[in-house]
């Protein structure tokens, strides 16, 4: 397939100039030339077909060249534009460069000089297009159904999910909170033959134990006091699709027994009904618990475990893939700037290096919360340490120079992180008066991870309660 000829849009209100340029430039550049006598006609042409370059006169009646330039940049950011201007209007041309024009040429111009300018502009546009395509390919390789990562650990997860998505096999997704288990489950559904069917997520810990059975399996009218009508359970809602049982380790022994029956028989009996209901669902479960340890303690049924864990997908913690942190930061910056209606923001290299060295006990969710906070709290184009509450730099300053020179880099880094973690957790508890739940929520860290850090550094919440001695 032969590549498309380059297409040039020339905009000028002088018909003679348009005819001259159309004939001479089109031949010398071997490109297709389209002309327009005003800005509005130019926009119509621009929307109707793809262009590689525009040559625009600045001074035109109605919509002038600068206004047209702004419209083109708004509709296609980075589009290559060369401006034409009279000799005495250089200042205006410089203003056009600031507004996004690639180059300008003054009238009257030498024909060869004009062709040279346009050739350079076309080459620049071609390189930008190739760069965009390359970046798109790279992003595609780094993202997988919402999961982001170029590290070997994440690429292995992507490969495993893609392979398992083609089957109906039951999958158990394991990993700490915030590692992306929900996204992995959704990927399995979207890759499967059930993708057109429902995807039903059940967050097991958030449903009170006394109503979880009725939520999962439904009930008949009159089955209990407030059952004023029949209700389909979530297993019925997922019929023909996938049911995702999130944090499956938190369900009670009674629910475990009924779940095992459903998985074995593909049917269940709603509360208050005499007849069973058949369902066709794929079960995907997830847990941040050690189910084998819970089995040994008699808290989780062994037979159910082996039903759920036909194949296991382990989600690596963020600390095991620090090279993915810059990718994730860029991903979250783009997402949350767009959601907040903010202009694109960036993370300075020094701060990004500090984030990369952080252990991230709350994993990807903690990082996303930090970036979201930075987008909202940073007034400029650059995310500041103050906006995200980052105090690692202060920790570094507290280390004496002699101490740093006397110990290895790894030990020094660990000391910095230790100081940061202690200060951050203590400050969070101080602000919330020792309320661990509120402190964890304000910090963007899972409560369980927050408590783990407290235990590691022997920090007690009661020391921060009102009237307590710190």
Residues 431-453: tens digit of each pLDDT: 888 888 888 877 777 788 788 88
**Is residue 56 within 8 Å of 102, Cβ to Cβ?**
no
pLDDT (tens digit per residue) in 258-301 = 999 999 999 988 877 778 889 999 999 999 999 999 999 999 99
Pull the structure tokens for residue 206: 């958030």
**Is residue 121 within 8 Å of 53, Cβ to Cβ?**
yes
CA distances 302 to 169, 249, 283, 305, 380, Å, are 19, 12, 17, 5, 55
CA distance 402 to 343: 44
Q: What is the mean pLDDT of residues 126-146?
A: 62
CATH superfamily of the 148-316 domain: P-loop containing nucleotide triphosphate hydrolases (3.40.50.300)
Pull the structure tokens for residue 235: 């297993």
Across the chain, mean pLDDT equals 83
pLDDT (tens digit per residue) in 214-243 = 889 888 776 676 766 788 889 999 999 999
Q: What is the pLDDT of residue 468?
A: 47
Closest CA to 64 of 44, 85, 80: 85
Q: What is the pLDDT of residue 441?
A: 77
Please state the pTM of the whole predicted model. 0.58
Q: What is the pLDDT of residue 1?
A: 39
CA distance 88 to 91: 8
Residue written as tokens 């660990």? 414
Kindly tell me if the per-residue pLDDT of 361 is higher than 80: yes
pLDDT (tens digit per residue) in 380-428 = 888 988 888 775 444 444 444 444 444 455 555 566 667 777 777 888 8
Percent of the chain surpassing pLDDT 70:
87
Gap between the terminal Cα atoms of the chain = 75
**Is residue 383 within 8 Å of 393, Cβ to Cβ?**
no
Kindly tell me if the per-residue pLDDT of 89 is higher than 70: no
**Is residue 63 within 8 Å of 40, Cβ to Cβ?**
yes
SS3 at position 385: helix
Same CATH topology for 7-139 and 148-316? yes
pLDDT (tens digit per residue) in 143-182 = 888 899 989 999 999 999 999 998 999 999 999 999 999 9
**Is residue 399 within 8 Å of 364, Cβ to Cβ?**
no
Per-domain boundaries in the chain: 7-139, 148-316, 320-464
Q: Kindly indicate the confidence band of residue 140, based on its pLDDT and cuts at 50, 70 and 90.
A: low
CATH superfamily of the 7-139 domain: Response regulator (3.40.50.2300)
SS3 at position 110: coil
- Mark residue 292 as left, alpha or beta (left: phi above 0; alpha: psi -120 to 50; beta: remaining): alpha
Considering the four listed CATH numbers 3.20.20.70, 1.10.8.60, 1.10.10.10, 1.20.120.330, the one that applies to the domain covering 320-464 is 1.10.8.60
């Amino acid at each position: 397939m032969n590549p498309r000829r380059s297409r040039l849009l020339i905009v000028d209100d002088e018909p003679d100039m348009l005819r001259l340029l159309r004939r001479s430039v089109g031949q010398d550049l071997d490109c297709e030339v389209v002309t327009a006598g005003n800005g509005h006609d130019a926009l119509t042409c621009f929307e109707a077909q793809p262009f590689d370059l525009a040559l625009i006169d600045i001074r035109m009646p109605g919509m002038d060249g600068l206004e047209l330039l702004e419209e083109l940049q708004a509709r296609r950011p980075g589009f290559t534009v060369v401006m034409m201007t009279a000799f005495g209007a250089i200042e205006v041309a410089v203003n056009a460069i600031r507004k996004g024009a690639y180059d300008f040429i003054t009238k009257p111009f030498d024909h060869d000089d004009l062709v040279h300018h346009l050739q350079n502009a076309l080459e620049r546009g071609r390189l930008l297009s190739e760069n965009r395509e390359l970046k798109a390919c790279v992003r595609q390789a780094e993202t997988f159904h919402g999961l982001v990562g170029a590290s070997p650990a994440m690429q292995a997860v992507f490969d495993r999910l893609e392979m398992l998505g083609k089957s109906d096999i039951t999958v158990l997704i394991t990993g700490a909170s915030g590692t992306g288990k929900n996204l992995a489950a959704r990927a399995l559904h979207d890759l499967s033959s059930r993708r057109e069917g429902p995807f039903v997520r059940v967050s097991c810990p958030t449903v009170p134990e006394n109503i979880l059975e009725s939520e999962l399996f439904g009930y008949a009218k009159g089955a209990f006091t407030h059952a004023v009508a029949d209700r389909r359970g979530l297993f019925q809602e997922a019929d023909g699709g996938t049911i995702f049982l999130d944090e499956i380790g938190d369900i009670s022994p009674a629910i475990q027994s009924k779940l095992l029956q459903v998985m074995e028989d593909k049917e269940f009996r709603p509360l208050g009904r005499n007849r069973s209901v058949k369902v066709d669902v794929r079960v995907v479960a997830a847990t941040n618990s050690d189910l084998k340890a819970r089995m040994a303690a008699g808290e989780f049924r062994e037979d159910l475990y082996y039903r759920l864990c036909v194949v296991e997908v382990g989600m690596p913690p963020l600390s095991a893939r620090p090279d993915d942190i810059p990718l994730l930061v860029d991903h979250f910056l783009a997402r949350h700037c767009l959601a907040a209606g903010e202009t694109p923001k960036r993370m300075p290299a020094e701060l990004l290096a500090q984030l990369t060295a952080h252990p991230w006990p709350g994993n990807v969710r903690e990082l996303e919360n930090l970036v979201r906070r930075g987008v909202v709290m940073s007034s400029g184009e650059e995310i500041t340490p103050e906006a995200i509450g980052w105090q690692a730099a202060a920790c570094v300053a507290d280390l004496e120079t002699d101490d740093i020179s006397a110990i290895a880099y790894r030990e020094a880094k660990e000391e910095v992180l230790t100081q940061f973690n202690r200060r951050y957790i203590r400050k969070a508890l101080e602000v919330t008066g020792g309320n661990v739940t509120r402190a964890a929520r304000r910090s963007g860290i899972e409560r369980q991870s927050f408590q783990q850090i407290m235990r590691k550094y022997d920090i007690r919440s009661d020391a921060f309660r009102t009237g307590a001695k710190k």
